[in-house]
Structure 1
């Protein structure tokens, strides 16, 4: 019996000792992990909506965006602290004629930073400078151009097509002729010819919607014929006024540029591409007469330039000064900001994409951080975290999708008529005044 208690007491002491040791080891491990946090230097540059840098009036810098959220997630998951470094030239990175890289990729290549946040469009040339993670996104490049409503000075003629106008004129002439002939037939030439001015006046007063003191109603056939004529004019007049009102409210929006090829083959709208971007890199290497070369060369030669990105140039694009080619994420952000600020869709995205690229983060060649980062990227992509961050950063993304949405947004806003909208009406008015003045002068003189 005593031996049993002794053995039982020993087991309790042993278990208590093991628990205490585990707690001590756990505390030491935790303290060690806190004190052994890695400190990383990370290259990043402003690119809305991925990484946005804001500086207040006191010089305090704050960060936001999709990749900022992702960076903080990685820092917690991989246990590191970091410092953000911006490239001195503000570029993403291209290789110059001497084989040296500039921008953020140059910083990675020279081991000045552990990795660059980006994300970067991955192409073969860039893979020679650094190692990239698995894709965090795959995006398409497309053209974005300003909406430029077509000014039609003769909009008052647009409700009807040419054939309908000719048919209306022919019908009017036919009706007038038939009534005159029938009137002369029944009343004779001596009385019938006196009715001709009245018949013409009745006909054209009805066309203009004016009341008439006289009507060809002496006979039943005349009443039936005139009733059908007047009913037809009512329908035509209502159709004309309704169509004209809709044309004045919803402007005509031609779409002459629907692809990058359309953009480079026209001379009216200049364009720009971002300096140090993948388009800049591919344009420098492109063969003459290719679309890439025309895009790059045209941005240099014309009033456009190789400068800021699409989001930064939103106001210039909206005013019709430039077009551009961007990845659709930047385009979505640009349109979202524009619609949120104005309530209008004044930008059009081409339906034909130029090409697609994978977007990833750039690491030093052979970096030990790369495998772990790849695992966490797959984690956030597969679990939908990246899509959630993306949606939160771009509200109103679908508000301006398609030409129907663009016309609808422009129709909902107050649209004051301008001289251009009614130019044709004033031309007709002044021609009428001129003819009446000429007739008055002739009558007065002779």
Structure 2
């Protein structure tokens, strides 16, 4: 807007002095009819032009002269950029809970069917299989883990059931290993907030509205439940998106801003740090035109519109905007594309789940072993006690 003001001053032959409103806001109407911010200064005829750019609203147009549109602006949410997080339970997320439950039920059913079918076949053919239940359970676990087993049913019925389960377990484990490999190679990034529905549904990150702005009035005057919740449950207000860009990048709150300011903040962030710390939501909340505001009845409005029209037609206005958002292409990519090139080593948290399962299994095995030792010693002591306290029969032979 500074470039536009300089061109207007040159073409319209005037000099200017920059001033800011005491409250540092754009301008909104108070209940008594007065206005705050830059629009209030126009209303009180303290200034001739307010560059803004201002979102064009009916209320603002009623108290000031609005120029022809300078640009078309989308409004969205700006927040700290989500990053890939290691998940201890990631190895279980290859399947949904329903699929895991079905696999568990299938194991129980097939194991029971294997034991029952083998027992019936043994009864029919007068044979006997020792430890049938334990063998069926161990065989089930071995085949699911793609290990070979030395035990198989002796008859065709049981072997047919074995073949069916082997095929099913092959599909289960091939799918599991493929999905797990893909998850480790290209880790997914969870984006908790990408729409207004996501915003009000979460409680981890507060959100704020820009004080004295058209967005504040937009949500304040909203009648639908969703936008009323955005207004009523907000965490306060902030000055403006550009001034508070560092606080937004640090994850202090989610801000609702115009698209140009969001991209400008992302360009500044990447230019100064070489990394992307900001994320722009995919959902556009609403769109509007932006323009320059003049004092009501201003003599400069007509000539200013001619200047703006000429600059838009020549593409100079678009060039000025693009010059401020030169380093945004990388930061506009989805967060899942922020991984480094090459294969990254797994950290402890990413591989912690299987290690915890291993530790739990080792602990359970140790506990079982100690129980066996205690039980065997108790059994040995009882046998010794019975031997040493048995009655002795003595007598004299005659």
- Range class of TM-score, shorter chain: 0.7 to 0.9
Partner of 1:438: 367
Measure how far apart 1:210 and its partner are: 5.7
1:287: how far off? 7.4
Q: Quick one: structure 1 residues 85 and 166, their matched pair in 2 at CA, closer, same or farther if it must change by over 3 Å? A: closer
SS of 1:83's partner is: coil
Q: How far does residue 69 in structure 1 lie from its aligned partner after superposition?
A: 2.2
Q: Tell me the CA shift for residue 247 of structure 1.
A: 2.9
Equivalent positions of 1:270-419 (< 5 A) are 270-282=206-218, 286=221, 294-299=229-234, 304-338=235-269, 341=273, 343-344=275-276, 347-353=279-285, 355-397=286-328, 399=330, 405-410=334-339
Indicate how the Cα distance of structure 1 residues 186 and 204 shifts in structure 2: closer, same or farther if over 3 A, else same: farther
CA drift of 1:151 comes to: 8.0
Following the alignment from structure 2 to structure 1, what is the Cα–Cα distance between the partners of residues 227 and 140? 63
**In 1, distance between residues paired with 2:165 and 2:45?**
87
Distance in 1 between the 2:365 and 2:142 partners? 18
Q: CA deviation at 1:444?
A: 1.3
Aligned residue pairs, count: 369
Distance 1:209 1:287, change over 3 A: closer
Residue of structure 2 equivalent to 1:53: none
Partner Cα distance (1:414, 1:131) in 2: 59
Question: What pairs up with 1:196-235 in 2 under 5 angstroms?
Answer: 204-205=141-142, 207-208=144-145, 214=150
Kept in 2, the 8 Å contact 1:140–1:356? The answer is yes
1:290 to 1:428, Cα distance in 2 relative to 1, 3 A: closer
2:124 counterpart of 1:193: no
2:188 is aligned to 251
Residue 66 (structure 2) pairs with residue 135 (structure 1): no
Structure number with higher relative contact order (C-alpha < 8 Å, ≥ 6 residues apart): 2
Distance 1:196 1:140, change over 3 A: closer
Give the corresponding residue for 2:111: 173
- Say which SS state the counterpart of residue 139 (structure 1) adopts: strand
Q: Following TM superposition, by how much is the alpha carbon of 1:240 offset from its aligned partner in structure 2, in angstroms?
A: 1.9
Shift of 1:421: 4.3
Return 5+ residue gaps in structure 2 as ranges.
376-398
Closer, same or farther in 2 for the Cα pair 1:288/1:371, shift >3 Å?
closer
- Contact 2:114–2:161, Cα closer than 8 Å, also in 1: no
Shift of 1:86: 2.6
Give the secondary-structure state (helix, strand or coil) at the position aligned to 2:18.
strand
Task: Give the direction of change, closer, same or farther, for the CA distance of 1:186–1:72 in structure 2 (3 Å limit).
Answer: farther
CA 1:180–1:211 in structure 2 vs 1: closer, same or farther (change >3 Å)? same
Point out the more displaced range, 107-116 or 383-392.
107-116
**Distance of 1:226 and 1:345 partners within structure 2:** 54
TM-score (ref. length: structure 1): 0.66
Q: Is the 8 A contact 2:88 2:350 kept in 1?
A: yes
8 A contact 1:91–1:104 mirrored in 2: yes
Equivalence for 1:241: 177
* TM-aligned CA deviation for residue 166 of structure 1: 5.1
Deviations 1:202-249 (A, max 9, x none): 66445445677x476999999999899778756644432331243344
Describe the shift of the 1:440–1:139 C-alpha distance in structure 2 as closer, same or farther (beyond 3 A).
same
How far residue 253 of structure 1 moved from its aligned partner, in angstroms, is: 1.8
Give the Cα–Cα distance (whole angstroms) in 2 for the partners of residues 161 and 138 of structure 1: 43
TM-score by length of 2: 0.72
Specify the SS of the correspondent of 2:23.
coil
Query: In the TM superposition, what is the alpha-carbon distance from 1:174 to its structure 2 partner?
Result: 7.4
Moved more, 327-336 or 366-375: 327-336
Cα deviation code 1:90-124 (max 9, x no counterpart): 22223334443332223333333331211111222
Q: Aligned equivalents of 1:246 and 1:346: distance in 2?
A: 27
Compared CA separation, residues 412 and 113, structure 1 to 2 (3 A)? farther
Q: CA RMSD in A?
A: 4.3
Match of 1:372, SS?
A: helix
8 A contact 1:139–1:359 mirrored in 2: yes
Q: Structure 1 168/438 Cα, relative in aligned 2: closer, same or farther at 3 Å?
A: same
State yes or no: 1:96 paired with 2:22.
no
- Distance in 2, Cα, partners of 1:421 & 1:100: 58
How far apart, CA to CA, are the structure 1 residues paired with 2:237 and 2:164? Answer: 66
Q: How does 1:109-124 map to 2 (within 5 A)?
A: 109-124=43-58
- Give 1:361 deviation, angstroms: 1.0
Q: Give the structure 2 partner of residue 154 of structure 1.
A: 89
Residues 250 and 287 (structure 1 numbering): CA distance in 2 closer, same or farther, change over 3 Å?
closer
